[in-house]
Amino acid sequence: MKFLDLAKVHIRSGGGGAGAVSFRREKFIEFGGPDGGDGGRGGDVVVEAVEGLNTLIDFRYQQHFFARNGQHGMGRQRTGASGEDIVLRVPVGTEILDEDQETVIADMTEVGQRVVLARGGNGGFGNLHFKSSTNRAPRNANPGQPGVERVIWLRLKLIADAGLVGLPNAGKSTFLAATSNARPKIADYPFTTLHPNLGVVGIDGREFVMADIPGLIEGASEGRGIGDRFLGHVERCAVLLHLIDATSDDVVGDAQTVLTELAAYSPVLMAKPRVTALNKIDAVDPDDLAEGRAALEAALDGPVLLMSGVTHEGLTEVLRALWVQIAPTRHVQTEETGRWQP
């Protein structure tokens, strides 16, 4: 299945049915009077977050969603049937944006969450509603209200506990494959990863979800390379794992490039906790590795872990460091109440 994280959709709710103009015509009843029924209500356009979806690919082949109109009212005080709602089923983590692609209408973060995007029009009153002491035979009825038509954007942001960031070929996909059951494509050329991958990682009897996104390069925020379009997938993460290629001639420059692009994309990403690790240590001379690590720690003003996705050296320490940041965001069950609390 292809991965799609952005889709433009045209929606329209149903219009209400018109009220009826009708009079009773029954045998042996001299003064029948009005009996026109009301029109039915138009259907709503609803979005619902469901399980089992991780892409918006369905909205590539269908972009128009129109709810049914309500039926017109009928004689004998019969109300028209309401129009059926139409439901857009989206993956958990989907943002619903207005046509400007900036205004957030809804953020679908829980399974079963439902939001009405466009309400159907009310049905019109039949002539029965207009009967009064001075107007015993009204011959007017209301038309139904029209439906709402609008354009929206669906933007998927994967929900993961940890996110992998780094330059192309920093070893992010190798790390994900080594620590989880995910099997992303791995090769020795830049931008092997073309779309985000998710993997469930286990450490010390605990599990968390990790997201791997395509690599960043200098100028990604301006559209170079694949650009920063996939950075939104790590906005929801509790912690970022910044992988740096230890075989690079300038590990400090590589680290600063990624941090600059994160800052250009969103201050929210820069404010997130980060775990920094030098990868591919199995291919570096110990003296050069120690020198590069010291330079990184001085430049970033923080600890730098060592690891190798190929030999699995240092993976446990990195995963434990990630869990330290993830654990406070998880819910725990208290013994006193038996309820789940943060």
Q: For residue 240, what is the domain's CATH number?
A: 3.40.50.300
28 phi-psi bin (left φ>0, alpha ψ -120 to 50, beta other): left
Are 95 and 4 contained in the same domain? yes
pLDDT of residue 226: 59
Within 8 A by CB and 6+ apart from 244, the residues are 166, 167, 170, 251, 254, 255, 276, 277, 278, 279, 296, 304
Residues 122 and 83: beta-carbon distance below 8 Å? no
Q: CA-to-CA distance for 335 and 342, rounded, in angstroms?
A: 13
Residues 228 and 220: beta-carbon distance below 8 Å? yes
Per-residue pLDDT of 104-113, as tens digits, reads: 999 998 999 9
Residues 261 and 230: beta-carbon distance below 8 Å? no
Residue 239 has pLDDT above 90, yes or no: yes
pLDDT of residue 337: 36
Residue 330 has pLDDT above 50, yes or no: yes
Are 141 and 236 contained in the same domain? no
Within 8 A by CB and 6+ apart from 72, the residues are 17, 18, 19, 20, 39, 40, 80, 144
CA torsion sign for 308, 312, 313, 314 is positive
pLDDT of residue 341: 42
Would you say residue 340 lies in a domain? no
Are 182 and 138 contained in the same domain? no
Are 228 and 286 contained in the same domain? yes
The band of 192, judged by pLDDT with boundaries at 50, 70 and 90, is: low
The band of 9, judged by pLDDT with boundaries at 50, 70 and 90, is: very high
- Binding positions for Mg(2+) are 173, 193
Residues 292 and 278: beta-carbon distance below 8 Å? yes
pLDDT of residue 67: 96
Are 297 and 311 contained in the same domain? yes
Average pLDDT of the chain? 86
Which of these, 140, 137, 86, lies nearest to 116 by C-alpha position? Answer: 86
Are 16 and 62 contained in the same domain? yes
pLDDT of residue 228: 61
- Binding positions for GTP are 166-173, 191-195, 212-215, 279-282, 308-310
Are 174 and 51 contained in the same domain? no
Would you say residue 36 lies in a domain? yes
pLDDT of residue 332: 45
Q: CA-to-CA distance for 173 and 176, rounded, in angstroms?
A: 5
- Binding positions are 166-173, 191-195, 212-215, 279-282, 308-310
Q: For 201, which DSSP code?
A: E
Q: For residue 67, what is the domain's CATH number?
A: 2.70.210.12
DSSP string, 7-44: EEEEEEPPPPPPPP--B---TT-S---B-PPPPPPPPP
Residue 2 has pLDDT above 70, yes or no: no
Residue 186 has pLDDT above 80, yes or no: no
pLDDT of residue 339: 40
Which of these, 38, 41, 189, lies nearest to 120 by C-alpha position? Answer: 41
Are 184 and 142 contained in the same domain? no
Q: CA-to-CA distance for 215 and 296, rounded, in angstroms?
A: 20
Would you say residue 339 lies in a domain? no
pLDDT of residue 170: 85
CA torsion sign for 295, 299, 300, 303 is positive
Are 122 and 170 contained in the same domain? no
The band of 336, judged by pLDDT with boundaries at 50, 70 and 90, is: very low
